[in-house]
Structure formats: C-alpha cells, structure tokens
Structure 1
Amino acid sequence: MAFTRATGKHRAPSRLTRRSAQVAGIAALATTGVIGGVSSPALAADSEALTAGSTGLTQAVAIDSTLADQIAAQAKAQQHQADLAAKAEAKAEAEAKARAKAEAEAKRKAEARAKEAREAEARAARAAERARLNAFHLPVAGSQVTTGYKSGGALWSSGSHSGVDFRAASGSSVVAVGAGTVVEAGWGGAYGNNIVLRMADGTYTQYGHLSSMGVSVGQSVTSGQQIGLSGSTGNSTGPHLHFEARTTPEYGSDMDPVAYLRAHGVQV
C-alpha cells in the first residue's frame, strides 16, 4: 500500500522548521530575561559571562572607586593646606599685634622720657633763675674797696665811715647787689644822688655819689640789674661809689658791708 504525505494544516513541520523555531524561542527568552530562570546552568553561566563582559560594568565600578579616592585625597590635601594657611595667617596676625603693642609701648615710654626731660629742663631753668635772682654781686663789677668800713676822719660828720668806697671811674655801671625794691631814689645830701633798696631778705643797701639814676621808687629790680652810674655828687673828693648795708632805710642803721656781701657769697 502506498503512503502519501498529508497536506494542509495537518502537515507536520519539517526538522529544519522545528530547529529554527527552537532557536527563535531561545532568542526570545534571552531578550526577555527568562532564559536566566529556565535554561540550563551552563547556558545561564554563559549568558552571564557574555552579559558582564559585553557591558563593562566591573571596569566602570573600579574606575569610579579610584576617582572617588583621588578626589577625597585631593580634598584632604586642600583642606590641610587651608588649615596651614589659616594657622600661618593667625600667627602673622598675632605677631603683627604683638609688634604694634611693643611699638606703642616703646612710643609711650619715649614720650614719657621726653616729657620727663622737658620737665627736668624746666626745673633746672627755674632753679637757675632763682639762683640768679638770689645771687649777690659786687655793686661795681671787678672793683675793689678803697676806703674801709668805720674808717675815721673829718670827712664824715659822725667821725667814721658808715660804709665802704668802691673804686669806680665816673660813669661806671652800678648794679643792685641783689634783688629788691627801690625805696629811695634822689638827692641824699652828703650822699649826693643816692638809691636805697629794700632787699629780699629784709635788709637794705645804699648806693651814693651817683652821676645819674636809672630807677624810681617802688620799682622792683633783679640781682645784677643796672640802677645808675657812678659819679662824685654830694660830699665827695672824686668819682667812686659809696656803698652801705643797713638794717633799716635810715642813716645810722649801718652794718659791715664787706661782711654782708661775703655772707651772701660775694668775694670782696
């Protein structure tokens, strides 16, 4: 009996057709990811190796990890440098403040020393002025006594000399032996033109036979100030200066004029 091949929809697929269908099915499963769950272990392992090798995921993860470490290290180094810079800046600022403080202190001390020096100079000047005012001088600079105190003779009404005579050419400068106030300035009889001063210590000095007078009553004079010029007015035998030291402004209260001047530091 002869066999015939069925035709139409009941025809069985050929071997080639079935093989193609299997391949197509496997491809579809691989595309959807089902092959990982239903395929054989060997096929799944091959698929994983293929997938990992073809996508490069392991390499990307390694690169990302290295880059992150590099960035972290760089950030740490930058932070370290920033900390060092901040410390250096703080140190420089502290040193600058210390220098400014030291300079201010040095300036303050220098100003204090300068002020102290000025004050000392002013005190010295005042002391020198007081010494000058309190110092005593010869009534005629560089002169000498020609007639001593209490010398006797007919020239004096009392019989003795109530003062001393200093050698002085006519017109020589006559000065106050010390600081005082003028209590008399004018004609004094036998004394001629005369000046009487009340001294700072309460004593009195008298200057007679003057050719001219340069002060007036009530005027204050300083030690060594010129008060007149020597002459030979009044009861006089020639130009000279008659000088007396008194306890009062009146005649008769005289005391030794040489001892008086020496007591005030004048060499006579």
Structure 2
Amino acid sequence: MPAKGKHRRPKSQRFTRSIAVAGTGGAALALPLMGATGAHAATPTASVAQSVEKTVAAPTAVKKAAGTKTYAVKAGDSLAKIADEQNVGGGWKKLYSDNRSVVGSDPSLIRPGLKLTIGKKAASGSAKQSSARTAPSAAKPTKATEAASTSSSSGYTLPVVGATVGTSYKVAGSMWSSGYHTGVDFVVPTGTTIKAIAAGTVVSAGWGGAYGNQVVIQHADGRYSQYAHMSSLSVSAGQTVTEGQQIGLSGATGNVTGPHLHFEIRTTPNYGSDLDPVGYLRSHGVAVG
C-alpha cells in the first residue's frame, strides 16, 4: 500500500521525431522537427516555415533582374524612337537614365552601333546607376545641350537647333509647282541661327524668288543643301564654310505663311533635283526628331 503524503514521480515527457519535407522549386528539403506535447510544440514549425518561405522567394527576384536585353543603335535612331518601339516604361527619359554612362551627357547624341540596355531596373546598385543618380536628372534637353548634340562623328549636323518638323518631304499639294513639297520645314521663330550641315562651298546666297533669301552649299559628296526663307544671310557665294558654321538667320521671306526654315538636299544646285533631306541627314548619323 502506498504511503500517504508521498508524491508520485511524474512521468517524463515523451518526444517524437518527425520529418518535415518542404518543396523548393522541385527539390525536397528534409527538416527534423521535435514534437512535444507541451504548449511550445508549434514554435519550431513556425520558424521552419519562415525559413522555407525565404528560400522559395529568392529565385523570383533573380528572374526579374534577368529580364533585360541589349539593343544596338541603328542609323536614324533616337532615344524616343527606341523607347517607343521597345515599349520602355517611362519613355526616353527612363531609357536615358538607365544608359547615361553609355550615352553620355547629351541624350540626343547616340551613334550607330552603341549598345543600350533595355529593361534595366532603375534601383540597380551598379556603378552605372550610381553615377546616373549623382548626375543631373534626365530632363528634356535644353537648347544649349542640343546645340552640342546635333552633330555626328561623320561631320554632319542639323541646320537648326531645337526645332520641330513641320511639313515633311514629298507631301502632296497644289500650293507647290512640282505638286509636292520638295524639302522639309523646320518650325522656328524669326532670328533663329541657321547652320551649314557640313563643310562645303557656298554656291549662291541671295534672293531666290518664292524661296525668299536663300543659301545653297555644295558638299564634298557632290550633294547640295539649300536653306530658304531666311531673314538675313551671313555668307556669300564662293565662300567656304565648316560644319555648324552660322550662315544666316531664319525668317519668313518669300512665299510663306509663317516663319520657318525650308531645307532641301539636291543632286544639283537647282530646283527639281531634290532628295529626301531627313533620310540624307540620318544616313550621316544625324538624329532628326
């Protein structure tokens, strides 16, 4: 008979061992769990679940970072054009921000063959992104910036800076004697500097009838560039000019409805021998908006 007043020895708790298997993308991860009948039995399970969750989530971040591609710039490309064709979220500003260390300080100056990264995360910790954050923000180029970015390594430049294209080449209409527009119009206010697109010799500089005050320049490749409706001229026939040299100021002389620069590329110095001026500039690496 058991003696009164004595305590029974409590039975020791029994622990059971079990194995938890967590899937991590097809691989099985065996984790030993200590099972107990006490209130703290769930604690190890919660810790393991958190560990497995972190392990599974890691590959997802890698996939997002890998979603980039490289684009090789072609003649006639601009950041805006590339961003539109490649569906870049954030447009040309995002594309420029991601590739600033490659493009340089002038977003309008991209040369054929340049390699751009499409789809790079703006928050990347790479050296390229770090330099982009410390540099000025990629705002719309100012006229001063554009002035330095319109030229190309081939020795050609835009005839006017900061202009938008108005009437394009070959647009049909009865207001033109040829039945179509023989050049391209750059919409600029009177007094805007007009520049020679490349080095050459001035063939004519003066009044050109419906073209108003005009300048025609012959270039080394045998082509001729014409600049019309100018308010004043800075060069004369027989004078040699260099790329980007001022040849006059824009205006509204001759047969016009408002101030602009009418620009042509010709195979001869005369009317009726026109070529696509935008295509010509782009073939020489000059970006035309």
Write 1 or 2 for the structure with the bigger share of helix: 1
Query: Could you state the TM-score of these two structures normalised by the residue count of structure 2?
Result: 0.46
Write 1 or 2 for the structure with the bigger share of strand: 2
Instruction: Flag the structure with larger Rg.
Output: 1
